[in-house]
Amino acid sequence: MFIVLSRFGFLSPGHRRVAIEGSILFFAIIVVLLALFFDYSNGFHDAANVVATIITTGVLSPRRALLMAAVCEFIGPLIFGTAVAQTIGENIVNPSSFDQRSLSLSISLVIAALVGAILWNLITWFWGLPSSSSHALVGGMVGAVWVAYGPDKILWRGLCYVLLSLILSPLLGFVFGTLFFKATARLAQDAPPSAKYFFNRMQILSSVALSLSHGANDAQKSMGLITMSLVILGLSPTFHVPFWVVASCAAAIALGAASGGWRIIRTMGSRIYRLRSVHAFCAQTSSAAVILGAALLGGPVSTTHVVSSSIMGVGAGQRISAVRWGVAKNMVAAWLITIPAAAAMAALSFFLIRIIHPDF
């Protein structure tokens, strides 16, 4: 409304400046709230990846598993830096290259990217499909930038790095899962029946490591978007993630994890491969190693992909025929369509925003 009043000359220059500053603050609040909601949806969507195995094997009750995951999800982003946030906020699009005279267009772009990613998260959660929140966010950003400014604004080298991280990480999860299970099985081949108790206890440690790594990697994606928006709006001179952004994103993903995604928990916990304690321990440890390594290197990987592929790798290490490859095939199909689907939703959201409110 402030923009409309200013455009038609109903505000004096002084009032116009105040109105513009108020509009910028309003835009910033909208973006922050949407980014935190995406972070929350990421948490409950991906909580299944973190706790499914430990719940399925009966080591912890669902309530305790989710509470443990939520605490670790909050701590993870606070201790492992912001390398992934830098990648998301600066390497896919350059926020400083946006036209500062068209702030509403740029903010519409960011909002549309978040809406597209959130919608795809909700759709796949409803159908119980363990798709990737990371893919959804990348797809949303690409789709929104493409329709708002054209393909020239996309940093293709940075986007290729992100896509390479997303593609290689599940392959590494599968390989690590297979090798780690084979090594563990060889070491424990003469173990007494009490070894199950040992692996139950070790599952708690591996689940803690997985929760920390998930929070460290996934919460940073929202941090990157929020900080990018602050640069676009002129509220931050350079791309530097403020502590309040880190803390709020950590809290949002932790609350999401505490809510739990029960539909996806069932898929992850039993429909790919029927897990026992040793399988769950190996899958969680392999996943945590890949995800945390990527977080430290700035690679925005998909926790869903890595955990799913680690479970498949562990199952294949036991016996290839034991893996339910039909379910795995459906999951891979969901992975493949996530980026284009989220991009299309973001593009549609952008057009709707511009039609409903041209000055937004």
> Cα 65 vs. chain centroid, distance in angstroms?
20
User: pLDDT per position in the chain (360 positions), as tens?
Assistant: 444 434 434 444 444 444 445 667 887 888 899 889 888 887 876 766 677 777 777 788 777 888 888 899 899 888 888 888 888 888 888 776 666 556 677 778 888 998 998 888 788 777 766 677 778 888 999 999 899 888 888 898 888 988 888 888 888 999 999 999 999 988 888 778 777 788 888 888 988 998 899 888 888 888 988 998 888 877 888 888 999 999 999 999 888 887 765 555 555 544 555 667 888 889 889 999 999 999 888 888 888 788 888 888 988 888 877 676 776 676 677 667 888 999 999 999 999 988 876 655
CA distances from 186 to 39, 72, 316 (A): 40, 31, 15
Domain boundaries, the chain: 2-89+159-337
Among 191, 216, 219, residue whose Cα is nearest residue 281: 191
Distance between CA 225 and CA 217 in Å, rounded? 14
Distance between CA 81 and CA 343 in Å, rounded? 28
Distance between CA 178 and CA 30 in Å, rounded? 44
Token output for 337 = 């369509």
As a whole number of Å, the end-to-end CA separation of the chain is 9
pTM of the complete model: 0.79
Distance between CA 176 and CA 47 in Å, rounded? 21
Residues 97 and 153: beta-carbon distance below 8 Å: yes
